[in-house]
Amino acid sequence: MAFSMGGSGSMADINVTPMIDILLVLLIIFMVIVPVTPRGLDALVPQPPKNPQQQQQPNDRTIVVQVLYRAGAAPAYKINETDVSHAELLQKLTDIYANRAERVMFVKGDDDVNFAYIADVIDIGKAANVDHIGLMTPKIQAGQ
C-alpha cells in the first residue's frame, strides 16, 4: 500500500452545494409545517343578559369566589356571599362540585388584593376538580 505524492493525481473533495440546497429546502418545509400560532390561556367570562329589562334571577349554578381586601391582614373569602375561611375553601368547593356536571367557577378579587391570593384561589379551584375558571372584572360585572 503505497501512496504517491504527485501533482498529477486528482484530489477528491466533497461538493457541499447540493447538501446546503437540501438543508435549505428541508428548513423551509419544516417552517411551513410547524404552526406558529401562539396559544394563550383559555378565558371564560360571564356574559351579560341578552334582555336588559329581564330581572336577573339568582342562579344557583353560578359559583363566584370573592377575594376581599383587608388592610394589614390576609384577605377574606366568600362563596356566593357566604363567608368562608381559607382553610375551608377547598372542602367547600369540593362539596359544591361533587355532584355537578357543569364545573364552572368565577373568581372576583378586589382591586387592592395581591394577585398571588387570586392565583391561590385558582389553584384551590383546580384541586376541587373545577374544569373552567373565569375571572370577573368590574367592567364585566357592570354589564358594559
Q: Taking the complete model, does pTM exceed 0.75, yes or no?
A: no
Helix, strand, or coil here: 57?
Answer: coil
CATH number of this structure's domain 63-142: 3.30.420.270
CA 119 to chain centre: 11
Of 79, 89, 75, 71, nearest to 128 by C-alpha is: 89
pLDDT one-digit tens code per residue, 66-116: 998 888 888 999 998 889 998 999 999 999 888 888 888 999 988 888 889
Q: Which three cell numbers stand for residue 43?
A: 378565558
The sheet that has 104-109: what strands, in order across it? 82-84, 76-79, 63-68, 104-109, 132-136
pLDDT one-digit tens code per residue, 5-59: 555 667 778 888 889 999 999 999 888 887 666 666 666 666 666 665 554 444 4
Per DSSP, 53 falls in state T
The domain spans of the chain are: 63-142
